[in-house]
Amino acid sequence: MIDVGDMPTPQVEEPERFPGGADALSNQAKYGEIPDGPMGVDLPPDKNPLTALADDRVPEVSEPDDKSQEPETAG
C-alpha cells in the first residue's frame, strides 16, 4: 500500500461575482450595481443588461390578421 499522506484541510473560496471569463461584468460604473450574491440565468427583463433594452425594440402589430384560421378544404 502507498502512503499518500494526510488529507488536506478543506478551504472555502469566495464565489466569482460575475462568472463568465472574458464576458464577465466587472465594471460597476458601466453595468450598474453589482449584486452581493450570484445571479441566476432567469433574471427579470429589467434587471438583465442584455434584455433591458430589447423590450423597446418589439415592433407593434400595425394591421390585424383578418384571414380565416380554418383549414381550406380541397374540392
Tell me, what's the pLDDT at 11?
92
Tell me, what's the pLDDT at 64?
72
C-alpha cell at 2: 502507498
**Residue by residue, what is the 3-state secondary structure of 17-50?**
CCCCHHHCCCCHHHHCCCCCCCCCCCCCCCCCCC
Tell me, what's the pLDDT at 27?
56
Nearest residue to 58 (alpha-carbon basis) of 41, 42, 45 = 45
Tell me, what's the pLDDT at 20?
55
Predicted TM-score (pTM) of the model is 0.19
Digitized pLDDT (tens) for each residue of the chain, 75 residues in all: 788 889 999 999 876 655 555 555 555 555 566 666 666 666 666 677 666 665 566 566 667 777 777 777 775
